[in-house]
Structure formats: C-alpha cells, structure tokens
Amino acid sequence: MQVNERGRVLWILNHTTLMEWEVPMLLAEGFEVFVPKVLPVGPNGRTATVTDCYDSSLTIPPDDLAYLNTVNFYDKPICRRAAETINCHFDVAIAASIYPGLYYLMRCFDGKIFMRAFGHAGDFDYESATATIPFETLDPTSYTSATSWPGRLLGKLRNRLPIADKPTYRNIVMDEMTRIRGRVYLAAAYEQIIDHERPFLKRRSVFMPLALPDSLLKANETWTGGEDRILFVCPNIDQIDYYRRIYLRFRDELGSFPYWVAGRQDLAGVDAPLSTQDENILGYIAREPLDELLRRCFCMFYHSQEPRHLHYHPLEAIATGMPLVYMAGGLLEPLGGPDQPGMCRSSDEAREKIARLRDGDTALREAIRSHQKAILDHFEPERCSRTWRENFLPLVKGGSR
C-alpha cells in the first residue's frame, strides 16, 4: 500500500490537551497518525481521552486499524499479531514514558521510538527513574522477535563493560534501551530535562517542545475578575499522596483566603474513599464552567517548585489574562525570568501579593498580567512547530545519535 512521504506515527500518549496540538501538527507535517483507543489504568489515565477523529489519516487496511483499536499499549503485554501489525505499517512511535507499556513497545517495535518526557518530580532523571519500576510486574510473555535476542545479550554485555556509551543503571528496562540505542530518543518537552539527564539518555535526547492548542489561546485576555476566590488546581487529593501533601500545604499557608480547588478527585482503577471534607473542593469541572472560573477568580495560585515539570493550568490562567501568583524554584522561573512580579520566594510573599490583589492593588495586578505574557512565548505554536522541524524531522528521515 502506498504510504505518504513522511510515514506513519504511533502516537501513544492520549493526553487530552497535548493531543489538541501535537497530533494536528504531525498531520500538517505530512504524517499519518494512530492514536490508541484503550486508555491506561490509574494515575496515567487521569488526563487522557479517546478519539477516533484521526483514524481517517491512516491508509492502512481497515481490518488492521480495527484490530489496533482494540490493543492496550499501556498496561498489557503486546502479542505477536499486534507487534507484526505495527511493524508492518509504522516507522515511528512517539510514546509516553510510562511502564510497563514503554518496555513492551521497546521489546517488539522495530522503528524509532521517541520517549516523550515532561519531567519527573524531585531529582529523578529518566534513567534513574527506571530503578523504581516494579520489575516483577513486567510480563515476559510480551512479544519479542527471535532476531532481537542477540541484541539483548549484547545490551546486557555493554552494561557491564567499562565503556562510555552505557547506562548508569543496570536493569531489564535499561538493557532494552541499550539494545535499541541507535533508534531510541528521549523526546524532552523542556530543555531543562535534557540538562538533567545522565550521559546515556542525554546523548539520545532531542528537544521537542509542547505548544498551547488554539482552544487555550483563544481565551486571550478574557479575564474580568469579580469573584472573591483564589483558583487552585489539585486533583486526586485522597488517592495520590503527592497531591494530598500539596493540598494540605496550600490550605495551611493560604487557606485563610477564600478559594476554589478544581481538579478531578475520583481516579479510575484506584479504590480509595473520598474522605477529605472541604466544601471548597469542586472536583471535576467541565470546560465551560472552568473557563468561567478562569475569567472571574481574582487570581490563580500555582504551587509547583518542580524544576523540570509544568502543568497546563497556570498557562491557561496566563492566556486568559488572570493574574498568576506562583512559587520560585519551579520551571516557571527560568521560562519567565527573574523579574516576574507574580513570582514569590516564600509563602509569606505569596500571602502578601495575594492580599494586595484581593484588596484591589491595580498596579500589582497589571504588572503581573503584563509581564507574565512572556512565559507564553515558549509555547507559541509556530515557534514549537519550527523546533520540531529542526530537531525531529532529521531523525525521522534517517539521522541518528
């Protein structure tokens, strides 16, 4: 069957907002794109969605497409039929860096794999994070071709020899990465991720930024204020301890102000009661009511001090024109620069600025709104598309690292 000039991409991410820009961008660049129809279970499915609207881009046989639409690329071993189908029709996979799915993909896929990286919490890099995988849960029945075994043995050998081009960590996942080292890449959404990586993946890293989709950019400067509430986003307070600690810290440090907490609180695949009693927790909010909160709350507070990860909601606030008050030390600091009026170096400073905004300090409000627009420049669609053309396309066309 005739395939287009660029080829076909397995886009194994399903992230709702990311999909709005990244998949149409790949289509505009001439690729055909497959998006899975089976979502991951648990936390990795929290921001995911299913759509078949991109199936029309594919020129593969209908029966093969129908079969691929039944495959779980995130949680289940990949069988021989699935492996042979993707190897027959696809040249490139852009995949979430989550396990066991990525491990199973590395075992069976013969094309180039771009492991999408949006930054780990704390000091983890993507190689060291493989040490936290519960290896006993990796299913050895996942398909791997007979021809991959020599490479797998060589990968194990390279991991034990005193040579430069080897990972620091020795485990079965890194053995697979070593085996396919000529066609595996860490596709970093932020350059700060690459700077933090160990030599093996740093050498194989490529900057592939994320852009804001039109659905967020169209909210440009629609903020009006008028509601005496801070907007704070914190999902899964009772299911994920990381977010529970964030919520408790926010409540302790800024809970004296009126606030709303947005974010889905029920998590599929996680059996935990919703025990936190707080009438200010709104839970999941549909798009239109959320847009109304973004337009009317007097500010948003963003807690994160993660240096290599960023959520979408502070960018939504900036796009709307809502004043954003956030903590220094996180990724927003290098993106925005050191002189952002909304940046705070302590909880006391955050309380002081929020109080001033609530009391109607128009000078501070307009200074924050004016300066924070510079952050959005990093997520401008054409700028990000240009970087993908410069960094991604040469590797797809046959380049290597």
pLDDT tens for 21-68 read: 999 999 999 999 999 999 988 777 777 889 999 999 999 999 999 999
Structure confidence at residue 14 (pLDDT):
93
131 has a pLDDT exceeding 90? yes
Instruction: Please indicate, yes or no, if residue 1 is contained in any of the structural domains.
Output: no
Is 125 found in the same domain as 41? Answer: yes
CA atoms of 393 and 16, how far apart (whole Å): 24
Query: What is the number of structural domains in the chain?
Result: 2
Structure confidence at residue 5 (pLDDT):
58
Is 261 found in the same domain as 370? Answer: yes
Boundaries of domain holding 183: 8-210+381-396
pTM: 0.93
CA atoms of 399 and 395, how far apart (whole Å): 4
6 has a pLDDT exceeding 90? no
Is 203 found in the same domain as 234? Answer: no
2 has a pLDDT exceeding 60? no
Instruction: Please indicate, yes or no, if residue 194 is contained in any of the structural domains.
Output: yes
Instruction: Please indicate, yes or no, if residue 401 is contained in any of the structural domains.
Output: no
Strands across the sheet containing 205-207: 32-34, 8-12, 92-96, 112-117, 184-188, 205-207
Structure confidence at residue 279 (pLDDT):
95
CA atoms of 55 and 59, how far apart (whole Å): 9
Structure confidence at residue 270 (pLDDT):
63
Is 298 found in the same domain as 189? Answer: no
The answer to which of 113-122, 274-283, 302-311 has the lowest mean pLDDT is 274-283
pLDDT tens for 75-120 read: 999 999 999 999 999 999 999 999 999 999 999 999 999 999 999 9
Orientation angle between helical segments 172-179 and 101-108, nearest 10 degrees? 40
pLDDT tens for 223-271 read: 999 999 999 999 999 988 999 999 999 999 999 999 999 998 887 666 6
Is 155 found in the same domain as 292? Answer: no
Q: Residue 53: which H helix or E strand, with range? A: none
The enclosing domain of 355 has a CATH number of 3.40.50.2000
